[in-house]
């Protein structure tokens, strides 16, 4: 990209010089034209004066005494021809041959090794031809002087002009320099909006920066809260483990000690599960979906059910997979299995003992829908939006979950472009969780 | 001393109940705020151990309701949140003490004893009545400097009487202090404990106020 200042300076200087050059060229051309007009006028005037003079006293003119009145006089010559053939009279500096082969009006010629501008005229009875010529060098010299006169002040002014442009560019870029200083001076923790009264060109940049700051800030706040929440969530199982261990150490009866030690192990399992889910979520938050995977939802659902089955059996909960066709979607089978397992596990855990948990895979239009329905207490509509939040537990539910399962489900769904929804189960009882996957093109 | 533990985490609640029982407390354990509110209406507790993140009725809200109703039971908050703002808002809501998870059971028990002591206006940790001394932390009773071996229940009865020295305690209120839910109380069990205490310490130590209850004189049995 290079420097903005250099680009502005180069552009402005080039444009200025080009504009000046064009003006110079036009002035020069104009001046040359005026010079030609004026000198041609004098040439014609001199010719007619000579003719008027010679008409009467041609024979008496002494060529040797034509006086030199001006420094340009040398550059002007004349010839007087009798009937156009015999040279009667000429100025001292005139060439030997005819000044111009053109015998009437203006012409440019080459005579005696010089270039001339010549005016030719006849007297009234067409007996005498007068040719007055002026060396072309005169006009070129005049033109050069005019051009030099025009060019000199411009060349003198150019450095000033460049300096002024430099100053103006510098002043114009001050808001950018100020912005640069402000951003440079910031600590990485300062994500407050930049406050500055910026010109219209810089304001959008600052607005964009501030919007970025706001997004980064909310991201960091989210991460910070997650870390804090995670640490706090781990404290309860740790407190339980510690307490139970102390109880076991102080226990005087074998039964009490065994119970407390069992509880210590259960606490370790719980803390382990929580850590596992935290890691899963952390990986999911950072991760991108690998391309090219395919998920046969029905087959995966069957695997997930098989994984949860022992737990369901222990809880006295019936699991069933409704019959239907296979539906395949694009995605990561391992993640989709985790999603399914979380939902089925939740349904078994909170769906009420002795109930039935129904799992279904259906294809509806452009979507493949995975759903889990339980017969438990359900979730009140006003609570449904909250359950996807990390560490949120439905008030009144048994306190054994981590509050992370549905966050994991939502994140996996997001990665697959799927939508996860909650609604009341069959007949308004229990809970149905649906995950709508965009079906893979068949 | 009877303690109400309000903790929704099954493992932790179970552990606290077992640990405090080992430390000589009579412990009732409930898992949500609404149950806790009911328990506090019906029973007399020496102190409450309160978790803040409770289902149905949050710990903070329960605390506000208790204090709003003029209930003066000492409350120790148990929570995972340790930011200063959290502690301040807990104490301002009417809590008497604060313990952050994970904690030490011995510390929890010591803080509960301190809360009970302060409630009865005793500044020193060792309760005294004449020549009788009771150290709740060390679980030791001394008479004229000599240790006396007592069963946990006898110790608890004596502690309750010494905490309330100079006041008459009914047999029912002593029972409520000593026996959590689920423990059967036989009709004459308090009389048995009192009888043993008199035999091990001094016959005149505990006065019987017929038809009302028992009293330990402030100056002890001189």
pLDDT, averaged per 10 consecutive residues of chain A (442 residues), comes to 80 90 90 89 87 66 55 76 81 82 87 87 85 88 87 88 89 84 83 77 84 85 79 86 94 92 91 85 75 86 91 89 87 89 89 85 89 86 78 62 80 88 82 87 54
Give the span between the Cα atoms of A54 and A63, in whole angstroms.
12
> Is residue B50 classed as helix, strand or coil in its secondary structure?
strand
Q: In terms of pLDDT, which residue wins out, B152 or A228?
A: B152
> Which residues on adjacent β-strands are paired with residue A19?
none
Q: So what's the pLDDT on residue A96?
A: 79
Q: So what's the pLDDT on residue A15?
A: 92
Q: So what's the pLDDT on residue A399?
A: 52
Q: Chain A contacts of B8, Cβ < 8 Å?
A: 399
Residues 302-361 in A contacting B (C-alpha not used; CB under 8 Å): none
- Give yes or no for B145 touching A (CB within 8 A): no
Whether the upstream peptide bond of residue A84 has omega within 30° of 0, thus cis, is no
A97, A117, A99: which is closest to A107 by C-alpha?
A117
Q: Chain A contacts of B14, Cβ < 8 Å?
A: 244, 263
- Give yes or no for B34 touching A (CB within 8 A): no
**Burial category of B30 from C-beta neighbours within 10 Å (exposed 0-12, middle 13-18, buried 19 and up):** buried
Is there a contact between A88 and A58 (Cβ–Cβ < 8 Å)?
Answer: yes
Give the span between the Cα atoms of B15 and B89, in whole angstroms.
27
**Cα four-point dihedral sign A65, A66, A67, A68:** negative
Q: Could you report the per-residue pLDDT of B53-92, keeping only the tens digit for each?
A: 777 788 888 999 999 988 889 999 988 877 788 888 888 8
Q: Chain B contacts of A274, Cβ < 8 Å?
A: none
Is there a contact between A405 and A280 (Cβ–Cβ < 8 Å)?
Answer: no
Range A374-383 burial, b when 16+ CB lie within 10 A, else e: bbbebbeeee
State the Cα torsion A419-A424-A427-A429 to the nearest 10°: 140
Percent of chain B whose pLDDT exceeds 90: 23
How many angstroms separate the CA of residue B6 from the nearest CA in chain A?
Answer: 13
- With tokens 């606490």, the residue in question is A267
- Give yes or no for A396 touching B (CB within 8 A): yes
- With tokens 């000046």, the residue in question is A20
- Dihedral pair phi/psi, residue A280, rounded to 5°: -55, -50
How many angstroms separate the CA of residue B82 from the nearest CA in chain A?
Answer: 9
Give the span between the Cα atoms of A86 and A63, in whole angstroms.
15
Give the span between the Cα atoms of B105 and B81, in whole angstroms.
18
- Disruptive mutation site among B6, B10, B15, B99 for chain A (greatest number of A CBs within 10 Å): B15
pTM, rounded to two decimals = 0.60
- Disruptive mutation site among B6, B7, B9, B12 for chain A (greatest number of A CBs within 10 Å): B12
- With tokens 């065994």, the residue in question is A258
Q: Characterize the bridge pairing of strands A105-111 and A114-122.
A: antiparallel
Q: So what's the pLDDT on residue A114?
A: 84
Q: Chain A contacts of B55, Cβ < 8 Å?
A: 393, 395-397, 399
Between chains, do A243 and B12 touch, taking CB under 8 Å as contact? yes
> Is residue B124 classed as helix, strand or coil in its secondary structure?
coil
Is there a contact between A210 and A190 (Cβ–Cβ < 8 Å)?
Answer: no
- Nearest CB to A263; choose among B14, B81, B104: B14
- Disruptive mutation site among B10, B11, B81 for chain A (greatest number of A CBs within 10 Å): B11
Give the span between the Cα atoms of A203 and A126, in whole angstroms.
84
How many angstroms separate the CA of residue B146 from the nearest CA in chain A?
Answer: 26
Element housing A132 (H / E) = strand A128-135
Q: So what's the pLDDT on residue A72?
A: 62
- Give yes or no for B56 touching A (CB within 8 A): yes
Residues 250-309 in A contacting B (C-alpha not used; CB under 8 Å): 250-251, 256, 259-260, 263, 266-267, 270
Q: Characterize the bridge pairing of strands B132-135 and B140-143.
A: antiparallel
- Nearest CB to B8; choose among A242, A243, A399: A399
Q: The tokens of A252 are what?
A: 């005087």
- Disruptive mutation site among B8, B13, B16, B18 for chain A (greatest number of A CBs within 10 Å): B18
Is there a contact between A76 and A133 (Cβ–Cβ < 8 Å)?
Answer: yes
Between chains, do B81 and A232 touch, taking CB under 8 Å as contact? yes
Q: Chain B contacts of A240, Cβ < 8 Å?
A: 9, 11-12, 15
Q: In chain B, which residue's Cα lies nearest the Cα of A248?
A: B19
Q: In chain A, which residue's Cα lies nearest the Cα of B13?
A: A240
Q: So what's the pLDDT on residue A196?
A: 67
Is there a contact between B9 and B18 (Cβ–Cβ < 8 Å)?
Answer: no
- With tokens 């440019």, the residue in question is A108
Q: Characterize the bridge pairing of strands A128-135 and A114-122.
A: antiparallel
- Nearest CB to B80; choose among A236, A251, A399: A236
Between chains, do A240 and B9 touch, taking CB under 8 Å as contact? yes
Count of pairs with CB atoms under 8 A, one residue in A, one in B: 82
- Give yes or no for B14 touching A (CB within 8 A): yes
B11, B46, B53, B9: which is closest to B28 by C-alpha?
B46
Q: Chain A contacts of B16, Cβ < 8 Å?
A: 243
Taking residues B172-201, what's their average pLDDT?
84
Between chains, do A256 and B102 touch, taking CB under 8 Å as contact? no
Give the span between the Cα atoms of A4 and B160, in whole angstroms.
85
Give the span between the Cα atoms of B125 and B134, in whole angstroms.
9
- With tokens 């969780």, the residue in question is A433
- Give yes or no for B8 touching A (CB within 8 A): yes
Q: In chain A, which residue's Cα lies nearest the Cα of B23?
A: A250
**Burial category of A292 from C-beta neighbours within 10 Å (exposed 0-12, middle 13-18, buried 19 and up):** exposed
Range B153-190 burial, b when 16+ CB lie within 10 A, else e: bbbbbbbbbbbbbeeebebebbbbbbbbeeeeeeeebb
B63, B44, B45: which is closest to B54 by C-alpha?
B63
Maximum CA extent, chain B: 53
Q: Chain B contacts of A253, Cβ < 8 Å?
A: none
Is there a contact between B6 and B54 (Cβ–Cβ < 8 Å)?
Answer: yes
Between chains, do A247 and B22 touch, taking CB under 8 Å as contact? yes
Between chains, do A239 and B81 touch, taking CB under 8 Å as contact? no
- Give yes or no for B139 touching A (CB within 8 A): no
- Nearest CB to B102; choose among A242, A396, A397: A242
How many angstroms separate the CA of residue B16 from the nearest CA in chain A?
Answer: 6
DSSP letter at B102 equals: S
Between chains, do A243 and B19 touch, taking CB under 8 Å as contact? yes
Q: Characterize the bridge pairing of strands B2-6 and B47-51.
A: parallel
């Amino acid at each position: 990209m290079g420097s903005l200042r250099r680009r502005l300076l180069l552009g402005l200087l080039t444009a200025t010089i080009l504009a000046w050059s064009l003006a110079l060229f036009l002035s020069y051309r104009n001046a040359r034209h005026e010079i030609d007009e004026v000198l041609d006028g004098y040439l014609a005037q001199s010719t007619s004066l000579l003719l008027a003079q010679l008409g009467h006293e041609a024979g008496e003119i002494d060529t040797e005494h034509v006086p030199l009145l001006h420094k340009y006089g040398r550059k002007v010559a004349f010839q007087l021809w009798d009937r156009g053939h015999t040279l009667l009279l000429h100025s001292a500096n005139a060439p030997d041959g005819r000044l111009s082969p053109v015998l009437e009006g203006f012409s440019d010629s080459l005579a005696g090794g010089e270039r001339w501008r010549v005016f030719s005229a006849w007297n009234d009875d067409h007996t005498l031809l007068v040719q007055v010529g002026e060396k072309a060098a005169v006009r070129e010299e005049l033109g050069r002087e005019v051009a030099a006169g025009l060019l000199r002040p411009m060349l003198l002014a150019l450095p000033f002009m460049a300096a002024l442009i430099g100053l103006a560019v510098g002043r114009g870029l001050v808001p950018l320099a100020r912005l640069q200083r402000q951003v440079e001076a910031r600590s990485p923790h300062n994500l407050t909006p930049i406050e500055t009264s910026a010109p219209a060109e810089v304001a959008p940049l600052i607005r964009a920066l501030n919007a970025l700051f706001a997004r980064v800030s909310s991201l960091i706040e989210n991460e910070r809260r997650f870390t804090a929440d995670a640490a706090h969530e781990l404290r309860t199982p740790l407190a339980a483990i510690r307490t139970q261990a102390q109880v076991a150490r102080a226990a005087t009866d074998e039964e009490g000690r065994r119970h407390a030690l069992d509880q210590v192990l259960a606490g370790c399992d719980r803390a382990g599960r929580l850590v596992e889910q935290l890691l899963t979520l952390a990986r999911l938050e950072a991760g991108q979906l690998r391309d090219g995977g395919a998920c046969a939802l029905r087959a995966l659902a069957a695997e997930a059910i098989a994984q949860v089955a022992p737990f369901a059996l222990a809880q006295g909960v019936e699991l069933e997979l409704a019959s239907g066709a296979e539906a395949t979607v694009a995605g990561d089978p391992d993640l989709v299995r985790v999603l399914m397992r979380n939902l089925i596990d939740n349904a078994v855990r909170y769906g009420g003992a002795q109930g039935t948990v129904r799992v279904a895979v259906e294809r509806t239009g452009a979507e493949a829908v995975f759903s889990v329905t339980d017969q438990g207490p359900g979730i009140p509509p006003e609570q449904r939006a909250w359950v996807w939040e990390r560490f949120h537990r439905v008030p009144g539910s048994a306190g054994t979950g981590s509050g992370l399962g549905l966050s994991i489900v939502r994140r996996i769904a997001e990665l697959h472009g799927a939508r996860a929804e909650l609604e009341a189960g069959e007949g308004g009882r229990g809970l149905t969780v649906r995950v709508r996957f965009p079906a893979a093109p068949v | 001393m009877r303690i109400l533990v309000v903790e929704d985490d099954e493992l932790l609640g179970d552990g606290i109940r077992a640990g405090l029982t080992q430390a000589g407390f009579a412990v009732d354990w409930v898992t949500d705020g609404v149950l806790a509110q009911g328990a506090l209406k019906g029973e007399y507790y020496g102190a409450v151990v309160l978790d803040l993140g409770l289902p149905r009725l949050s710990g903070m809200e329960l605390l506000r309701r208790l204090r709003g109703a003029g209930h003066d039971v000492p409350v120790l908050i148990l929570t995972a949140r340790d930011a200063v703002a959290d502690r301040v808002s807990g104490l301002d809501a009417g809590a008497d003490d604060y313990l952050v998870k994970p904690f030490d059971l011995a510390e929890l028990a010591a803080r509960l004893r301190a809360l009970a002591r302060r409630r009865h206006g005793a500044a020193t940790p060792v309760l005294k009545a004449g020549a009788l001394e009771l150290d709740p932390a060390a679980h030791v009773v001394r008479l004229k400097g000599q240790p006396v071996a007592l069963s946990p229940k006898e110790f608890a009865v004596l502690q309750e009487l010494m905490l309330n020295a100079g006041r008459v305690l009914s047999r029912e209120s002593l029972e409520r202090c000593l026996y959590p839910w689920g423990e059967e109380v036989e009709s004459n069990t308090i009389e048995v404990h009192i009888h043993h205490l008199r035999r091990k310490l001094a016959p005149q130590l505990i006065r019987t106020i017929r038809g009302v209850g028992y009293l330990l004189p402030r100056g002890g049995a001189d």
